[in-house]
A and B are shown apart, each in its own frame.
Chain A
Protein backbone atom coordinates (compact mmCIF):
# COMPACT_ATOMS: atom_id res chain seq x y z
CA UNK A 1 0.00 0.00 0.00
CA UNK A 2 0.92 3.64 -0.18
CA UNK A 3 3.23 4.80 2.57
CA UNK A 4 4.09 7.79 4.66
CA UNK A 5 7.80 8.55 4.54
CA UNK A 6 9.36 10.35 7.52
CA UNK A 7 12.80 11.93 7.87
CA UNK A 8 15.13 12.06 9.69
CA UNK A 9 14.97 8.89 11.79
CA UNK A 10 17.04 10.52 14.53
CA UNK A 11 17.62 14.17 15.36
CA UNK A 12 19.86 15.63 18.04
CA UNK A 13 19.71 19.32 18.94
CA UNK A 14 20.91 21.61 21.67
CA UNK A 15 18.39 23.10 24.04
CA UNK A 16 16.98 26.28 22.53
CA UNK A 17 17.58 25.22 18.92
CA UNK A 18 14.82 24.49 16.45
CA UNK A 19 13.91 21.02 15.18
CA UNK A 20 12.20 20.13 11.91
CA UNK A 21 10.77 16.75 10.95
CA UNK A 22 9.45 16.13 7.45
CA UNK A 23 6.94 13.67 6.01
CA UNK A 24 5.70 12.88 2.54
CA UNK A 25 2.54 11.02 1.59
CA UNK A 26 1.25 9.54 -1.65
CA UNK A 27 -2.56 9.50 -1.42
CA UNK A 28 -3.66 12.77 -3.01
CA UNK A 29 -7.09 12.39 -1.36
CA UNK A 30 -5.58 12.62 2.14
CA UNK A 31 -7.02 15.57 4.03
CA UNK A 32 -5.85 15.16 7.61
CA UNK A 33 -2.27 15.15 8.90
CA UNK A 34 -1.66 14.58 12.60
CA UNK A 35 1.56 14.46 14.59
CA UNK A 36 1.95 12.22 17.63
CA UNK A 37 4.53 12.36 20.39
CA UNK A 38 5.53 9.24 22.27
CA UNK A 39 7.57 9.59 25.44
CA UNK A 40 9.53 6.62 26.69
CA UNK A 41 7.22 3.91 28.00
CA UNK A 42 4.07 5.86 27.21
CA UNK A 43 1.35 5.84 24.59
CA UNK A 44 1.52 8.05 21.47
CA UNK A 45 -0.44 11.25 22.00
CA UNK A 46 -1.63 13.82 19.49
CA UNK A 47 0.28 17.10 19.72
CA UNK A 48 -0.95 18.94 16.65
CA UNK A 49 -2.81 18.27 13.42
CA UNK A 50 -3.62 20.08 10.21
CA UNK A 51 -6.33 19.70 7.61
CA UNK A 52 -5.89 20.19 3.90
CA UNK A 53 -7.72 23.49 3.75
CA UNK A 54 -4.93 25.33 5.62
CA UNK A 55 -1.22 25.66 4.97
CA UNK A 56 0.06 26.22 8.49
CA UNK A 57 -1.04 25.81 12.08
CA UNK A 58 0.72 26.89 15.26
CA UNK A 59 0.37 25.99 18.91
CA UNK A 60 2.89 27.76 21.12
CA UNK A 61 6.33 26.34 20.22
CA UNK A 62 4.95 23.80 17.78
CA UNK A 63 3.88 24.40 14.19
CA UNK A 64 2.91 22.21 11.26
CA UNK A 65 3.10 23.24 7.61
CA UNK A 66 1.43 21.50 4.69
CA UNK A 67 2.27 21.61 0.98
CA UNK A 68 -0.47 19.68 -0.81
CA UNK A 69 1.05 20.19 -4.24
CA UNK A 70 4.28 18.54 -3.18
CA UNK A 71 2.46 16.12 -0.81
CA UNK A 72 4.58 16.87 2.18
CA UNK A 73 4.08 18.26 5.66
CA UNK A 74 6.50 19.20 8.40
CA UNK A 75 6.63 19.59 12.17
CA UNK A 76 8.56 22.55 13.52
CA UNK A 77 9.54 22.83 17.18
CA UNK A 78 11.14 26.09 18.26
CA UNK A 79 13.13 26.80 21.44
CA UNK A 80 13.49 23.10 22.15
CA UNK A 81 13.59 21.91 25.75
CA UNK A 82 14.77 18.61 27.26
CA UNK A 83 11.14 17.55 27.75
CA UNK A 84 10.68 17.65 23.98
CA UNK A 85 12.89 14.54 23.79
CA UNK A 86 10.65 11.77 22.49
CA UNK A 87 9.70 9.82 19.38
CA UNK A 88 7.54 11.78 16.95
CA UNK A 89 5.25 10.15 14.38
CA UNK A 90 3.51 11.73 11.43
CA UNK A 91 0.46 10.10 9.86
CA UNK A 92 -1.93 10.42 6.95
CA UNK A 93 -5.11 8.56 6.03
CA UNK A 94 -4.89 6.12 3.16
CA UNK A 95 -7.89 5.64 0.89
CA UNK A 96 -10.15 2.89 2.15
CA UNK A 97 -8.21 2.34 5.33
CA UNK A 98 -7.06 3.96 8.51
CA UNK A 99 -4.27 6.34 9.54
CA UNK A 100 -0.91 5.19 8.25
CA UNK A 101 2.10 6.26 10.28
CA UNK A 102 5.66 7.15 9.39
CA UNK A 103 8.49 5.19 10.97
CA UNK A 104 9.13 7.82 13.59
CA UNK A 105 11.82 10.34 14.50
CA UNK A 106 13.73 10.07 17.76
CA UNK A 107 14.41 13.63 18.94
CA UNK A 108 17.06 14.17 21.58
CA UNK A 109 17.42 17.60 23.16
CA UNK A 110 20.56 18.07 25.19
CA UNK A 111 21.00 20.80 27.77
Chain B
Protein backbone atom coordinates (compact mmCIF):
# COMPACT_ATOMS: atom_id res chain seq x y z
CA UNK B 1 0.00 0.00 0.00
CA UNK B 2 1.34 3.41 -0.98
CA UNK B 3 2.27 5.56 1.95
CA UNK B 4 2.84 9.30 1.75
CA UNK B 5 3.75 10.73 5.12
CA UNK B 6 3.69 14.36 6.08
CA UNK B 7 5.69 14.87 9.23
CA UNK B 8 3.59 17.65 10.75
CA UNK B 9 -0.21 17.51 10.85
CA UNK B 10 -0.78 20.79 12.67
CA UNK B 11 1.53 23.79 12.87
CA UNK B 12 1.16 27.31 14.20
CA UNK B 13 3.82 29.76 13.07
CA UNK B 14 4.38 33.48 13.40
CA UNK B 15 4.42 35.93 10.51
CA UNK B 16 7.90 36.15 9.05
CA UNK B 17 9.06 32.75 10.28
CA UNK B 18 10.67 30.25 7.92
CA UNK B 19 8.52 27.13 7.70
CA UNK B 20 9.47 23.67 6.46
CA UNK B 21 6.84 21.09 5.53
CA UNK B 22 8.31 17.65 5.01
CA UNK B 23 6.93 14.80 2.94
CA UNK B 24 8.21 11.26 2.47
CA UNK B 25 6.89 8.51 0.20
CA UNK B 26 7.80 4.85 0.36
CA UNK B 27 6.86 3.65 -3.15
CA UNK B 28 9.91 4.77 -5.12
CA UNK B 29 7.74 7.20 -7.11
CA UNK B 30 9.56 9.55 -9.45
CA UNK B 31 7.05 12.35 -9.13
CA UNK B 32 6.07 14.36 -6.09
CA UNK B 33 3.72 17.30 -5.68
CA UNK B 34 2.63 19.98 -3.27
CA UNK B 35 -0.95 21.21 -3.38
CA UNK B 36 -2.70 23.79 -1.29
CA UNK B 37 -6.36 23.28 -0.30
CA UNK B 38 -8.66 26.16 0.56
CA UNK B 39 -12.48 26.11 0.85
CA UNK B 40 -14.09 26.96 -2.47
CA UNK B 41 -10.77 26.96 -4.31
CA UNK B 42 -10.14 23.23 -4.51
CA UNK B 43 -6.64 21.81 -4.74
CA UNK B 44 -4.14 24.20 -6.27
CA UNK B 45 -0.73 23.06 -7.46
CA UNK B 46 2.19 24.88 -5.85
CA UNK B 47 5.23 22.96 -7.12
CA UNK B 48 6.04 19.53 -8.43
CA UNK B 49 9.16 17.50 -9.04
CA UNK B 50 9.73 14.72 -11.57
CA UNK B 51 13.23 13.80 -10.45
CA UNK B 52 15.75 14.39 -7.72
CA UNK B 53 16.94 18.01 -7.68
CA UNK B 54 14.35 18.92 -10.33
CA UNK B 55 11.41 21.21 -9.68
CA UNK B 56 8.68 22.87 -11.68
CA UNK B 57 6.35 25.69 -10.74
CA UNK B 58 2.66 25.03 -10.50
CA UNK B 59 -0.14 27.58 -10.51
CA UNK B 60 0.65 29.36 -7.22
CA UNK B 61 4.41 29.20 -6.54
CA UNK B 62 4.77 32.73 -5.19
CA UNK B 63 6.00 32.78 -1.61
CA UNK B 64 7.07 29.12 -1.71
CA UNK B 65 10.12 27.12 -2.64
CA UNK B 66 10.82 23.39 -2.65
CA UNK B 67 13.69 21.00 -2.19
CA UNK B 68 14.17 17.46 -3.41
CA UNK B 69 17.57 16.11 -2.42
CA UNK B 70 16.45 12.48 -2.23
CA UNK B 71 13.92 10.60 -4.33
CA UNK B 72 11.64 9.79 -1.41
CA UNK B 73 11.57 13.24 0.18
CA UNK B 74 10.02 16.50 -1.03
CA UNK B 75 10.01 19.58 1.16
CA UNK B 76 7.93 22.73 0.89
CA UNK B 77 9.51 25.88 2.26
CA UNK B 78 7.85 29.13 3.20
CA UNK B 79 10.76 31.58 3.37
CA UNK B 80 8.80 34.20 5.30
CA UNK B 81 5.37 33.00 6.35
CA UNK B 82 2.43 35.34 5.92
CA UNK B 83 -1.14 35.12 7.20
CA UNK B 84 -2.47 34.49 3.68
CA UNK B 85 -0.51 31.24 3.67
CA UNK B 86 -2.73 29.83 6.41
CA UNK B 87 -4.08 26.72 4.72
CA UNK B 88 -4.07 22.95 4.38
CA UNK B 89 -1.05 21.65 2.46
CA UNK B 90 -1.20 18.28 0.75
CA UNK B 91 1.79 16.36 -0.50
CA UNK B 92 1.34 13.67 -3.16
CA UNK B 93 3.35 11.26 -5.26
CA UNK B 94 2.95 9.20 -8.43
CA UNK B 95 4.85 7.08 -10.91
CA UNK B 96 4.04 9.56 -13.69
CA UNK B 97 2.42 12.97 -13.68
CA UNK B 98 0.12 12.88 -16.69
CA UNK B 99 -1.51 9.53 -16.68
CA UNK B 100 -0.96 7.89 -13.34
CA UNK B 101 -2.76 7.87 -10.04
CA UNK B 102 -1.44 10.30 -7.50
CA UNK B 103 -1.51 9.38 -3.82
CA UNK B 104 -1.96 12.02 -1.15
CA UNK B 105 -0.57 12.40 2.32
CA UNK B 106 -2.80 13.22 5.29
CA UNK B 107 -2.17 16.94 4.95
CA UNK B 108 -0.54 19.60 7.08
CA UNK B 109 -2.72 22.28 8.62
CA UNK B 110 -0.68 25.47 8.84
CA UNK B 111 -1.85 28.52 10.74
CA UNK B 112 0.21 31.69 10.47
CA UNK B 113 -0.51 34.27 13.17
Contacts and interface: CB of A to CB of B under 8 A. Distances in A.
B42 A98 contact: no
Contact of B97 (A45, A98, A103): A98
Contact of B42 (A46, A93, A101): A101
A97 B42 contact: no
B104 A1 contact: no
Contact-residue bracket for chain B: 20 to 34
A98 B45 contact: yes
A38 B87 CA distance: 16
A25 to B, nearest CB: 13
A91 B43 CA distance: 10
Given A43-B90, A98-B45, A101-B42, A93 B104 contact: no
Interface string A68-106: 000000000000000000000100010001111111100
Interface stretch (B22-30, B33-41, B78-86): B33-41
A81 B98 CA distance: 32
A77 B100 CA distance: 23
Contacts of B48: 97-98
Interface residues of A, number: 23
Given A100-B45, A103-B40, A104-B42, A34 B101 contact: yes
Contacts of A51: 99
Contacts of A104: 42-43
Contacts of A43: 90, 104-107
A101 B35 contact: yes
A22 to B, nearest CB: 15
B7 to A, nearest CB: 15
Interface of A: 1, 6, 9, 31-32, 34, 42-46, 49, 51, 89, 93, 97-104
24 contacts: A32-B98, A32-B99, A32-B100, A34-B101, A43-B105, A43-B107, A44-B104, A46-B101, A51-B99, A89-B43, A93-B97, A97-B56, A97-B97, A98-B31, A98-B48, A99-B33, A99-B45, A100-B45, A100-B59, A101-B45, A102-B42, A103-B40, A104-B42, A104-B43
